[in-house]
Structure 1
Amino acid sequence: MGKSLGHRGRLALAVAGTLCGVSVAQEAEQLDVIGEGDAPTQLETVVVTATRVGEPDFDLPVAIDVLNRQVIQDRNPGVLISEVLPRVPGTVVTNRGTFAQEEQIMIRGFGGRSQFGTRGVRLIADGIPASTPDGQGGPGLFDLGSAGNIEVMRGGFSALYGNHSGGVVQVFTEDGPQEPTLSARLMGGSDGTWIAGTRLGGQSGTVNYVLDAYHAETDGYRDWSRSTKEQANARLKVALDSGGTLSLIANAMNLPDSQDPLGLTAEQVKQNPRQAAASALEFETRRTLDNMQGGLILEQPLTDADSLRAMFYAGTRGNEQFLAVPLTNQNAITAAGGVSTFDRRFAGGSLWWSHETALADGPLTLTLGGEYDRSAEDRTGYLNQLGERDALKRDEDNSVDSWGTFIQGKWAFAPDWSLDLGLRYTRVGFDSDDHFICTIGQVTAPGAQAGTCSGSTTRITATNFNPDDSGSQTYSAWTPAIGLLYGLTPDINLYANVGQTFETPTFTELAYRPDGGSGLNLDLEPAMSWHYEIGAKILIGPDARLNLALFQIDTQDELTVATNRGGRATYQNAPASRRRGAELSLDSQLGHGFSGRVAATYLDSELTDSYLACVDIPCRTLAPTLNAAMVEAGNRIPGVPLFTVFGEVAYAYEPLGFEAAVNLYGQDEVYVNDRNTETAGEYWLVNLRAGFTQALNRFRLSEFVRVDNVLDRSYISAVSVNDANGRYYAPGPGTSVLFGITASYAF
């Protein structure tokens, strides 16, 4: 076959490791396999995100990158995903400078519209969704202090994971070491930042365990941005006598009273980038969030050719968010107030069956599966009386159910060729039951005076009322994916793939209408995207790897922000968009202790049809138009940079346990609205880190210092797309320093 192991051998090793419960991904990173007559060729990291069974990423016809434990944990705070994801081409992470708003992950230009957390990208932690059934994701659930691998898959094959457009980010907890080991970490630095955490891991008989917990606090770079994050993550993995594994996973996160400074106008940024918006101080904008979830995963071989994977999870999430909505606006009968709260219960499960066989003398692996996810919440709204919760303004029960079934297959139909294909059906149903009704004939939320509604001094009339806004909506789609891989030489794989993705609105996006009317925004349609990609994966000797991908994505009914004011956004469909781009990554051991990485992305993203967009609230885009303006075809998609570049050179001197690195991150300007009238400028950041490690018998000590934004550049770290007040900009911090020490002891 001309390859070390070839496709069949690599697949057999990967599947065998998966069935036996072995952490192949971690073991394979440094394993060299030599075939007869071949030079040493690195066996690439085994991943599961693309095919759901373990397989080397080098042999997959998709763009997928893996970040290992050392990259994730060493000399990083271990609190935010933005610490590591800039290393992945095609991926952008924006940070608004406060835990009150979870980070926004964009993959190939999808996710830029998000105002809270991540949308358009599927998030998974240890096989359990970190995205709700409607597509809202919270990357804050990822515990980096115990993460062993992060897999980032981009493009059309993510269609096989259901409701999203851009890709999949999946985090896996590391295995505990063979000997019980207790470690503690303490960090402190600029802006009153400090982090304290501990981790316990080990192996006891057939049980492998990891427990990580930490507390992080910061005063924030900007005024009114003090935040706290507390998180704990645990995994127990039991090796069963039957040859399978049973994993128990638990995760808890708490963000108590995290302050939100909101965005600034361009003029305010020039005056003082550290200030908070005046309305943030007036209404004391802040957020409290707690999330608890747990799950069970059974991986069981049934025969030499068959295996089964079953997963169940459940959890709760509570949220209270104080928004900067003017009191006159909150007084309206149909207004939902300035304090948004919900109590959510969620649960789900999946069942996968994999079978190995042969077709026309070529090995064939088939995976058939089904998934179900449900989220139900009690959502309420209240008046925000200058930072105090007051009268009830909203009361409803919401639920989202998602059903999915899929089939995937991989067929090595010739010595140097393989075919991956899959098909998924996804159905997402929304249901809302309104308990806040104020009409002449029915009042379920009476006001302080007869004839008024709770939280409003305006009298109920035949033309001024709050009706029953209950409603339901269902979206469904079949989404196919197909990929072809050709081994040109033992160290060069060429590939092509095509896939279609399906992304519904989230409940948050359905919640409000751009015209200011009551009821759900049921006119929203799901976004449908066709992804086309070609690429090459090249091993350059035993110590270097080059990946290149070229892609085009055509989207119908792109979901975009219609109006955005006071922390509340409404949404609409843009008729069509196109994304064309290139991604390059290069990893290399340079010799003499040096190593390097480059990850670069070029992404031309544009709206391909003209349409009317909102410039103020309320908005009507049908005649007679009100507060609307034309968006011209050819405008760039807001929030998406034309290019991003990450580069790093690291040095390690083992005799002294010394390590140091310098990295550079650059990003092009981004437009902040659909009409492309303002931009957040291009920027380049230089970051340094260095540290020592000492090992004495069972004790290990590590110290480090990080200096981020060494040149103290001014830049915008995130934007609020289409903000009606022009407060688009969240300034990033200047030069910041973090010191840290980690100590561990193996018993």
Structure 2
Amino acid sequence: MKKYIIVAFLILFCDEISAQIVQGKVLDDATSEPIENSKVLIVGSEVVVFTDENGAFQLTIPDYPVALDISALGYKSIRYAVVPNGDHIIRLKPASEKLSEVIINGTLISKSLQKSPASISVLNSGDLQKKDVSNFAQVFNSVPGVYVNQGALNTTKLNIRGIGARSQFSTNRIQAYFNGIPLTTGEGELTIDDFDAEAISKIEIIKGPTSSVYGAGLGGVINMYAGNAEVDKTQVELSSQVGSFDTYKNTIAASHGSKNTSLFATFSDLESDGYRNNGSYKRQSGLINAAIFTEDGNKLSFLANFTKLKAFIPSSLNEEDYLNNPEKAAFTWGSSKGFESYERGLLGVSYMHHFSSKFTNLTSVFVNFRDAYEPRPFNILDEERVATGTRTKFNLKLPIFKFESELSFGGEYFREWYAMQTFENLYRDFEDRGSVLGTSLSNNEQDRNYANFFGQLNLELSKKLNLETGFNLNTTNYSLRGLFVEDEIDQSGDYKFETIFSPRIGLSYEVENGKNIYASISHGFSTPTVEETLTPEGQINTDLKTESGINYEVGFKGNWLNNKLYTEVTLYSIQIKNLLVAQRISEDQFVGINAGKTNHNGIETTIKYSFDISPRFTMQPYFNGSFNYFEFEEFINREQDFSGNKLPGVPKSTINTGFELNYGNNISLYTNFLAVGEIQLNDANTLSTENYQVLDIKMRYDFKIFSFFDANISAGINNILDEKYASSVLPNAVGFGGSAPRYYYPGNPRNYFVGVGLNYVF
């Protein structure tokens, strides 16, 4: 009997010796934050462990080799091969299959979309590929509350909840960041169409005033994130697409990922003759996104993006030409062969450091530049812009009055140098030559800088009730130097806007599992541009005030039918005072005034459903809608009282609906139907556009050539119904020299595209 006991003991002892202890950490690939409660399963067994608050796990394996399945709520599951003596730092990418589980990184404190007390829309790389990839900006029309005015590929204006709708030619009052690097200029203008769908992994759109996080940005903020490499994979992808109007786009992307490094690079060449005369377009752009990870979860990142553009400008049309000859360019723009060209780049370095499992810091430094030349009929503009800055953020987890909480605080500094000259355009003196540089008309330099100091506290008041509160303190000032002496107008001087305190508070309550209601109040502001501060005599208007507003919002986010159906409903009201109005006093001169107040009231809804038609067929129908009532509460301009009128430049409603149909992992069909309500064309509400509907369709087929070689073929039709509509409008257009005002930018008629892609995995 003793012999059997000894043998059994030796067997157990030997098994224990042969068993191996494996330790590791599971981190968020985007933020390097630890992921708590990640599930770690030994493949082929029932052995399961979960990570702790530091993302750490430990388990015993019988022997090498062994594979682990790693999964976590809101992330893509991966299979991880365990090797002896390895540093088991496992990184999970955010998932998008269940919208409510997506983790929002653009807020000061990362949180799931479901529990965020704010209206936030998320677009992932898959959403971008459902559209025509030659027109990236159109994807924003699928977001409720966002409307895209697009006169051409290089003439894009976004407005969020009607804010920015009265802008003449560009997007303003919206902040945007690319991997944490500001894209919005120091004057608040944004160019979103420089980027490629293939270079982006995710977009987060936070709607309504977000000044408690990002400073000036009354409409909201757009956070875009560059593509990343997959762990333990090296691949090269080539894609090409051709379409109507002699449009083609060629793209090459390469990536290499390991446990400690990530390198992603892409380059694209996009050219088009355009639907309209004087509408040719050529853009080349490249991006590099690299990261190095340490054993402690620290992360050093580098981002570089460069764009070279030359795009001719057909400009807007009067009503007669819009209805009868939409292909033509505006006469003066066609005669001068007006265009814009520029080289633009941004560079940024950021470092994420974990002082401990509860205390982290993320610091970024950046520089971006733009060198532009734009011949217009009224003059030729030559401008240069260079901006530098830094942003740092500390996050600390600590209990407050026995409540679980997280505190975030930090600051951002941005400085921009801008130089511009204008020259006579002598195109009338040189027939058929287009624009010809003449004598100098103006020469100015601007230095603009701002500083934001921010803080946010998240309190878990109970398992169901969460509180968010935060603030931002902003200082903005600029100096102007006039270098043109012939006009005898001295614009030189230093100017400063009042310091602005922007608070925010939000509550989120889980009514039941997977269903949350929330409410929030936030303050926002936007400072005037230098151009808006100039008087008709060219002097600085020091009495001009910052535009500000308060956003009141309540909403519901919920899953139904075993998480197959996701719904979201938001009701909001934004009251804006010191409304900045750009009065047009000449073909290229605007004067800003504070003219009153506006009310922005509306409802936004999102519905997304996923179900299986058969074991091979799946369908995901969706519905995104916004219904609004935007009006001037008080608005008297040049002795005309527009109080009570609707806000021009924004539709009274938008509906974006369609479905995605998949057959296995090979065949996908995407449909999208956009219905846009009428748009007022002027403050007096005497003119408006008609409702219009645009239906798009795209099909894609993915297949394998070899086990390591994938391919895809795609084709699509935009505007299947061949609808005639205005894809953009110019609010309050004024006719000069007896000509009719030019309100309209014609949308493209029915057009087609075909694409092919090859992906090689090393």
Instruction: Write the mapping of 1:553-702 to structure 2, written as runs, cut at 5 A.
Output: 553-563=574-584, 566=587, 568-592=589-613, 593-612=618-637, 621=638, 630-654=640-664, 657-695=666-704, 696-702=706-712
Counterparts of 1:267 and 1:533, CA distance in 2: 42
Counterparts of 1:41 and 1:638, CA distance in 2: 36
| C-alpha spacing 1:365/1:12, structure 2 compared with 1 (3 Å) | farther
Indicate the residue corresponding to 1:532 in structure 2.
Answer: 552
Indicate the residue corresponding to 1:71 in structure 2.
Answer: 127
Counterparts of 1:434 and 1:530, CA distance in 2: 36
Instruction: Write the mapping of 1:17-96 to structure 2, written as runs, cut at 5 A.
Output: 28-29=74-75, 44-50=101-107, 52-74=108-130, 76-77=132-133, 79-82=135-138, 84-96=139-151
Task: Determine which structure has more spread, i.e. the larger CA radius of gyration.
Answer: 2
Indicate the residue corresponding to 2:266 in structure 1.
Answer: 212
Equivalent position SS for 2:245:
helix
The one-letter code sitting in structure 1 at the alignment partner of 2:718 is D
The one-letter code sitting in structure 2 at the alignment partner of 1:572 is I
CA contact (8 A) 1:376 1:397 kept: yes
CA contact (8 A) 1:354 1:366 kept: yes
Counterparts of 1:20 and 1:188, CA distance in 2: 46
Instruction: Write the mapping of 1:254-269 to structure 2, written as runs, cut at 5 A.
Output: 254-256=308-310, 258-269=311-322
Equivalent position SS for 1:96:
strand
CA contact (8 A) 1:209 1:236 kept: yes
| C-alpha spacing 1:545/1:216, structure 2 compared with 1 (3 Å) | same
CA contact (8 A) 1:19 1:244 kept: no
Q: How much does 1:123 deviate?
A: 0.7
| C-alpha spacing 1:65/1:42, structure 2 compared with 1 (3 Å) | closer
Q: Can you list the C-alpha shifts for 1:297-331, whole angstroms capped at 9, x where unaligned?
A: 11111112100010000122111112222xxxxxx
Are 2:217 and 1:164 aligned?
yes
Equivalent position SS for 1:419:
strand
| C-alpha spacing 1:221/1:42, structure 2 compared with 1 (3 Å) | closer
| C-alpha spacing 1:520/1:261, structure 2 compared with 1 (3 Å) | farther
- Percent identity at matched positions? 21
Q: Can you list the C-alpha shifts for 1:625-665, whole angstroms capped at 9, x where unaligned?
A: xxxx514211111101110000011111116x111122100
Indicate the residue corresponding to 2:469 in structure 1.
Answer: 421
Indicate the residue corresponding to 2:4 in structure 1.
Answer: none
Q: How much does 1:17 deviate?
A: 12
Equivalent position SS for 1:509:
helix
Task: Tell me the matched-pair count.
Answer: 667
Are 2:483 and 1:468 aligned?
no
CA contact (8 A) 2:34 2:55 kept: no
CA contact (8 A) 2:503 2:523 kept: yes
Q: Of the candidates 276, 280, 285, which is equivalent to residue 226 of structure 1?
A: 280
Counterparts of 1:96 and 1:357, CA distance in 2: 51
Equivalent position SS for 1:679:
coil
Q: Of the candidates 751, 755, 758, which is equivalent to residue 736 of structure 1?
A: 751
CA contact (8 A) 1:311 1:349 kept: yes
CA contact (8 A) 2:128 2:136 kept: no
| C-alpha spacing 1:25/1:192, structure 2 compared with 1 (3 Å) | farther
Counterparts of 2:262 and 2:692, CA distance in 1: 45
Are 2:320 and 1:311 aligned?
no
Residue ranges of structure 1 left out of the alignment (5+ in a row):
1-8, 33-39, 326-337, 439-464, 613-620, 622-628
CA contact (8 A) 2:241 2:753 kept: yes
Indicate the residue corresponding to 1:184 in structure 2.
Answer: 238
Counterparts of 1:183 and 1:736, CA distance in 2: 26
Q: Can you list the C-alpha shifts for 1:592-621, whole angstroms capped at 9, x where unaligned?
A: 211111110011111111312xxxxxxxx4
Counterparts of 1:76 and 1:745, CA distance in 2: 23
Counterparts of 1:105 and 1:682, CA distance in 2: 19
CA contact (8 A) 2:35 2:55 kept: no
The one-letter code sitting in structure 2 at the alignment partner of 1:221 is Y
The one-letter code sitting in structure 2 at the alignment partner of 1:66 is V
| C-alpha spacing 1:177/1:31, structure 2 compared with 1 (3 Å) | closer
| C-alpha spacing 1:575/1:75, structure 2 compared with 1 (3 Å) | closer
Counterparts of 1:498 and 1:11, CA distance in 2: 30
Q: Can you list the C-alpha shifts for 1:512-546, whole angstroms capped at 9, x where unaligned?
A: 54xx3223454432111010000000011222211
Counterparts of 1:266 and 1:152, CA distance in 2: 34
What is the TM-score of this pair, normalised by structure 2? 0.84
Residue ranges of structure 2 left out of the alignment (5+ in a row):
1-32, 39-50, 57-69, 79-96, 428-434, 736-740
CA contact (8 A) 1:608 1:634 kept: yes
Counterparts of 1:727 and 1:414, CA distance in 2: 57
Structure 1 window deviating more from structure 2 (158-167 vs 206-215): it is 158-167
Q: How much does 1:368 deviate?
A: 0.6
Equivalent position SS for 2:537:
coil
Q: How much does 1:27 deviate?
A: 8.1
What is the TM-score of this pair, normalised by structure 1? 0.86
CA contact (8 A) 1:125 1:142 kept: no
Counterparts of 1:125 and 1:191, CA distance in 2: 31
Counterparts of 2:392 and 2:211, CA distance in 1: 18
